[in-house]
Amino acid sequence: MSEENWVYALEVAELADGEKKALVIDGQRIALIRKTNEIFAISNKCVHMECPLSKGELEGYIIKCPCHDWRFDIRSGEFLDARELKVLVYELKVSDGKVYLKMEGENQ
């Protein structure tokens, strides 16, 4: 695993359980979401009209786009009504209380 692709995002303590935070890292709009002490990183642009998913409603592991109610699984990025559509999911790691993202986002 190449270390140069890992970019600091934020301190774990900055993101409370159930909270969503919008960031721009390396020009990419990213939504960090903490759910049940796990942190997920997805593109902060809905595939429909690029509305910010970080402003959407989180129900379980599903985030609902605030513009047109499109629903995505934050674990896989899948759009629930057409699973072939996905938002980008970023690999992340936590080290010493800091969250790092791998900036070669990948769909899982």
In order of their start, the domains of the chain are 3-99 (2.102.10.10)
Amino acid letter, residue 7 = V
Identify whether the C-beta of residue 23 lies closer than 8 Å to the C-beta of residue 32: yes
Place of tokens 């409603």: 57
Residue type, 63: I
This prediction's pTM? 0.89
Whose tokens are 């009504």? That residue is 81
Which pLDDT value is given to residue 83? 87
Looking from the CA of 34 toward its CB, the CA atoms found within 13 Å total 14
pLDDT < 70 stretches in the chain: 1-3, 105-108
- Can you spell out the DSSP letters for 85-107? -B--EE-EEEETTEEEEESS---
